Chain A
Amino acid sequence: MTHPTHESCAHCGHHHELRVEDLRVSYRNVEALRDVSFATSCGACVALIGPNGAGKSTLLKAVAGLLPVAAGRILWRGTKVAKWSREIAYLPQRENVDWQFPITVRGVVRMGRYPQAGWWRPFSAADEEAIGRAIELMGLADLGDRQISQLSGGQQQRVFLARALAQEAHVLLLDEPFTGLDRNSKAGLAITLRDLTEEGRLVIAAHHDMDTVRDIYDEVLLLNRRAIAFGPLAEVFTEAGLEETFGSLPTDGKEVA
């Protein structure tokens, strides 16, 4: 796998690696993930593929620092991911967001600057600029004052991406970003994720629509409680790999080579 921008991040000129080693995560006493190892870096777009309950969300949350790691470790740029990092942005599943919350598009994006601005300090000019730029980049310039329930599914997803951009995150963790979007929004979001990847960000998304995997991702992690396989799309996203992951071929995976 040699992606043109894989060597370094276009927006910061460094090569950043995310390495997960023998990760095990448990909820109370139930093991949700074990033996998960993979390494990827900025400029890659990674699909997490596996059946429901395979631990895709768990893995994303663990990398985001939301879950305690029972064994193994997660390294970002060579250091262990502590509780949280400004460089890692987590985007929840759309169904987990309270869309009726009285907040505007701009309000959500502003939250991305809180790590920089702290709890009390007023936003600096640099903060405001980053917020404006993020909104602009995600094509939300005309919607800044909209309450977030008054957006299409694709726009809602882009609001959270804009928040991640305002945060200046290098790693974007998305939980089923395409779920519930219409065809046009899906196509638009795919282009956006590709653009963010070309910029040198590391995009990792739980994904379940087998038909679109090839158009969006460079690398695939097959997951079912443990890592089945990880690597470049062409090597890993195969009939044999999917069969091992799902037990049988997923119903919508007929077109898989």
Chain B
Amino acid sequence: MSDWLMEPFRHPFNQRAVLAALLIGLTNGYASAFVVLRKSALKVGSLSHALLPGIAVAILVAGLNHWSVFLGSLFAALLVGLGSLAVSRGSRLDHDSALAILYTAAFSGGIILLRRLGVVQEMEQWLFGNIMGLRDSDLWTNFWISFVALGTLTALHRPLLMTLFDAEVAATLGVPVRALNYLLLALLIVVLISSLQAVGCILALGLLVTPAATVYLLTDSTNAMFWGGSLLGGLAAAFAVLAGWWLNIEQGPAIVLVLGVVFLIAFLFGPKYGLLHRLRHARFGVR
């Protein structure tokens, strides 16, 4: 039994995967509070799809390496994000429709291009992740991405929080709301990219929404939402990688599934905002 439990820790690629999951989970968990408070989960989901064509073009232009993938996907997501704003402002179309059009078109282009590049075997990896395939250098790239993103988000915590709570009031208190919104968008894309290798561009959204959403159902404290989300993201991701090994299931989906299960528990059994609590109190007519 203990052999079975300890087995995952014997292999360097597994240790690396656990470490990476911890790192990615912490960063995504922290950033997920911004996504949830900003109520922009679907927008972020669209942008995560837009990473794929960026990877394809980057491989085509500069070959496959950390920085080409990072810059390519960042550029593609920014292009789709800003392009959708330009389309909605320059026409009578709403922003969500514009975003849907651009990201699905870009995603399709990415699939077609990736197939032509002769990297078909990697397609699934970009879509659904491959955390066991991480190398030391990948870990370092992730570390730096997380460091920069988390550092900036914590440094700008005050003005960002004011913008999220009430953008108009924030503006009357001297916060440069528009600039911060763009910066936040860029940082969220960067965080998405950090989890690209681990969970892929389709599942990345789960990691960037679920942790803080879960904590949101348990607390009224802003700080708890950020740091609790971070802690939950890190621990759940690390645990899922181990569980994936023990139960022989894919680690990427395992991470998102574990988070989903934790969310469901909070949704049902949360002491204050849980469904059961609410039902019980509704029956007795107390709030």
Contact = CB atoms under 8 A, between A and B. Distances in A.
Interface stretch (B105-113, B154-162, B276-284): B154-162
B172 A103 contact: no
Interface in A95-118: 96-98, 101-104, 107-108, 111-112, 114-115, 117
Contacts of A137: none
A113 to B, nearest CB: 9
Given A102-B220, A111-B173, A114-B173, A92 B168 contact: yes
B186 interface: no
B225 interface: yes
Interface of A: 61, 64-66, 83-84, 86, 88-92, 96-98, 101-104, 107-108, 111-112, 114-115, 117, 119-120, 147, 167
Interface in B126-160: 155-156, 158-159
Contact of A64 (B158, B162, B172, B216): B172
Given A114-B159, A120-B155, A103 B222 contact: yes
B171 interface: yes
Nearest to A175: B168
Interface of B: 37, 155-156, 158-159, 162, 164-166, 168-169, 171-175, 216, 219-222, 224-225
Contacts, number: 70
A65 B225 CA distance: 32
A92 B169 contact: yes
Contacts of A92: 166, 168-169
B172 A88 contact: yes
Ranked 4 nearest A-B pairs via Cβ: A147-B220, A90-B172, A64-B172, A84-B174
Given A64-B168, A84-B172, A114-B158, 10 more contacts: A64-B172, A83-B174, A84-B173, A90-B169, A92-B169, A96-B168, A98-B165, A102-B216, A114-B159, A115-B174
B222 A107 contact: yes
Nearest to A118: B158
Nearest to B162: A111
